[in-house]
Amino acid sequence: MIGYLSLARETFDVEFAQSKFKQAKGLLESITSEIIGFDQLITNDEIAKEALDFFKSNECEKVFLFQTTFTDAKFILNFSKIFFLNNLLFLSLYSNDIASLLLLNFLV
């Protein structure tokens, strides 16, 4: 099973983040039906805990982590402590509005 989740920050363009997450999830769904994911943008510690609990209950061989806005590494570090980092596939998306300001802050 392939998992997916998405990180965003509430102080950035959440509407943009939602649209990019929807597109990325749609692409995965077009490739395979063997996917399961956490469908809420992870924007705070409470939602992050829910996502961790979700993946503890739903084992995945690989997990796509969509970084849809600038984020810090806190969730990624916590997630990788529980799940092997080599099972995480990072896809970072950026908005043209902030790309020139934050390009160096994205995982690539």
67 burial level (CB within 10 Å; 0-12, 13-18, 19+): buried
For residues 50 and 38, the answer to whether their CB atoms sit within 8 Å is yes
Residue 39 pLDDT: 95
Query: Consecutive 10-residue runs of the chain (108 residues): their mean pLDDT?
Result: 90 85 92 95 92 92 85 76 69 57 43
Give the contacts of 30 (CB within 8 A, at least 6 positions apart).
none
Residue 98 pLDDT: 52
Paired strand residues for 37: 4
| Dist CA 43 CA 79 (whole Å) | 14
Residue 101 pLDDT: 47
| Dist CA 51 CA 41 (whole Å) | 9
pTM over 0.75: yes
Residue 69 pLDDT: 77
